[in-house]
Amino acid sequence: MASEQDPTPENPHRRAPRGVADLPVREANPTNAPAPAADLAGFKPKRRASGENSTPLGHELERRSPTGNRSARPALTRRLIVNADDFGRSHSINQAVIRAHREGILTTASLMVNGDAFDEAVGLAQQNPSLGVGLHLTLVCGRAACGPMEIPDLVDAQGALSHSPVATGVRFYFNRNLRLQLAREIGAQFARFKSTGLVLDHVNGHLNMHLHPTVFSMLARRRLEWGIRHIRITDDPFMLNLQLAGGNWLYRASHAFIFGQLSRRARRILDGSGIHFTDRVFGLLQNARVDETFIRKLLPRLPSGDSELYSHPSLDEFPHEFEALVSPHVKALVQELDIQLIRYQDLKDPSPA
């Protein structure tokens, strides 16, 4: 699978944002229980009371979830998870994630348990319990949780995973002998996340490798063992993206097709499993171009139901994605459009059909 990040878009004179050293530290939740979504720091979109009319029509409408289950939520309600991938990969990313959560619209982050700044990320997450933290499963372009002796066919002598997503995907699919080692590595990453004491908000994969047929089937079969309740189904609507952005046509068309197929397969596998996911996901086709211009175009066109927008905010490599998440104009637009900011753990269980 191709990389989801290109080199930083041109803007060499952008001022680097300040760090988080002077920001007030929040007290950790001693019970490790998830904080209410309404506690999202720095920005609190208006929420309707349960007894109020939820649509301009003044009556509730039903909608269908991707799995065919009816939801009691009104059809015109728009809820958005705003996620940051690669949490724990570097100090710069960690700073951007926490500032975007405290000062902006970021609601969740996906943790790389073998990232160089993993310990710092865990500490920051514990100080900010309203941030939903999930597992960013890393099976390519990173380091493994297991040692080379445990998974010799997946890593080199230094424990580094392959840097070729396409070659790795081919091997995972055709080499059945790798599956035991693959399950061992995935299990080790879940175990390391569990050791942090954080609530597992969601699961996704670095470069969205979690949707690979071999990997996804494994996640679905062992969902109870690994505690998976929410997962990203990376289906970025291509026709809508064409109306919002330009350029990178080959990348966008190919990724829309590949991940559209993988997402349809994933939804069929999850039907009736109890695992929940959003109706759609934005960010894949932007490839490190989730900037303020894109978000301000997306929000008014955001479809009803539950969506996820993910990006890769940092203070050095992708500062434009960080600045978009803390933009006063973006925050005001979310409030003006009455878009509810949520985490994966806030997705409601669908009602019986």
Q: What is the pLDDT of residues 208-233, one digit of tens each?
A: 999 999 999 999 999 999 999 999 99
The structural domains of the chain, with segments of one domain joined by +, span 63-346
Residue with tokens 């004179």: 13
Q: What percent of the chain has pLDDT over 70?
A: 77
**Tokens at residue 346, please?**
């806030």
Cα–Cα distance, 171 to 165 (Å, whole number): 10
pLDDT at 76: 72
pLDDT at 37: 45
pLDDT for the residue 2: 45
CATH code for residues 63-346 = 3.20.20.370
The tens digit of pLDDT for each residue in 120-173 reads 999 999 999 999 999 999 999 999 999 999 999 999 999 999 999 999 999 999
Q: Are strands 132-137 and 108-111 parallel, antiparallel or unpaired?
A: parallel
The answer on pLDDT for 19 being more than 70 is no
- Calculate the alpha carbon distances from 312 to 6, 72, 100, 285, 318 in Å: 11, 33, 11, 13, 7
Question: Whole-number mean pLDDT of the chain?
Answer: 84
Span 44-59, average pLDDT = 36
Nearest to 304, CA basis, from 353, 276, 262, 340: 340
Q: How far apart are CA 257 and CA 244, in angstroms?
A: 18
Phi, psi angles (nearest 5°) of residue 261 = -65, -45
What confidence category does residue 102 fall into, taking pLDDT thresholds of 50, 70 and 90?
A: very high
Confidence of residue 14 (pLDDT cuts 50, 70, 90): very low
Report whether pLDDT(240) > 90: yes
HEC assignment per residue over the chain:
CCCCCCCCCCCCCCCCCCCCCCCCCCCCCCCCCCCCHHHCCCCCCCCCCCCCCCCCCCCCCCEECCCCCEECCCCCCEEEEEEEEEECCCHHHHHHHHHHHHHCCCCEEEECCCCCCHHHHHHHHHHCCCCEEEEEECCCCCECCCCCCCCCCCECCCCEECCCHHHHHHHHHHCHHHHHHHHHHHHHHHHHHHHCCCCEEEEEEHHHHHHCHHHHHHHHHCHHHHCCCEECCCCCCHHHHHHHCCCCHHHHHHHHHHHHHHHHHHHHHHCCCCCECCCEEECHHHCCCCCHHHHHHHHHHCCCEEEEEEECCCCCCCHHHHHHHHCHHHHHHHHHCCCEEECHHHCCCCECC
Residue 4: pLDDT over 70: no
Instruction: Compute the average pLDDT of residues 16-36.
Output: 45
Given a cut of 60, whether residue 245 has pLDDT beyond it is yes
Whether the pLDDT of residue 301 is over 60: the answer is: yes
